């Protein structure tokens, strides 16, 4: 049985002194729709996704990071030296999807 995990944004402080935000996909409705998104459509159920996507540097897949305790020390940008996370805060992604009415 798979445990439910909501999508979160990780606001991280990195070892190199910079900060970044990561979208950590869960197994909720937001993650399902986000994975369907083509990164160009900004209508219907994808309305607002383009603007939202600009808030995060990287997307972490559901199975790439299994538990919160694994965040410290991880780096998600192989090209950036000393990009290991040294501190972070989590923000729940709360998304209201627009209802699409049949014409």
Q: Where are the domains of the chain?
A: 8-92
Contact 85, 7 (CB under 8 A): no
pLDDT of residue 8 exceeding 50, the answer is yes
pLDDT in tens, 55-95: 898 999 988 998 899 999 999 988 889 999 999 999 999 98
Q: What are the tokens at 81? A: 């030296």
State the pTM of this model: 0.86
Segment (H or E) for 21:
strand 19-24
pLDDT in tens, 10-43: 999 999 999 999 999 999 999 999 999 998 888 8
Q: What are the tokens at 39? A: 């990164």
* C-alpha to C-alpha distance for 44 and 4, rounded to whole angstroms: 25
User: Could you give the residue ranges of the DSSP H alpha helices within the chain?
Assistant: 29-36, 49-53
Segment (H or E) for 8:
strand 8-14
Phi-psi region of 83 (alpha: psi -120 to 50; beta: other; left: phi over 0): alpha
pLDDT for the residue 103: 46
């Amino acid at each position: 049985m798979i445990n439910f995990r909501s999508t979160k944004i990780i606001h991280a402080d990195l070892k190199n002194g910079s900060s970044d935000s990561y979208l950590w996909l869960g197994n909720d409705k937001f993650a399902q729709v986000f994975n369907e998104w083509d990164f160009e459509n900004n209508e219907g159920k994808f309305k607002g996704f383009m603007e939202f996507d600009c808030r995060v540097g990287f997307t972490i897949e559901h199975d790439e990071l299994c538990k919160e305790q694994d965040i410290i020390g991880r780096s998600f940008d192989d090209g950036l030296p000393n990009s290991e996370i040294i501190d972070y805060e989590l923000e729940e992604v709360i998304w209201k999807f627009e209802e699409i009415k049949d014409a």
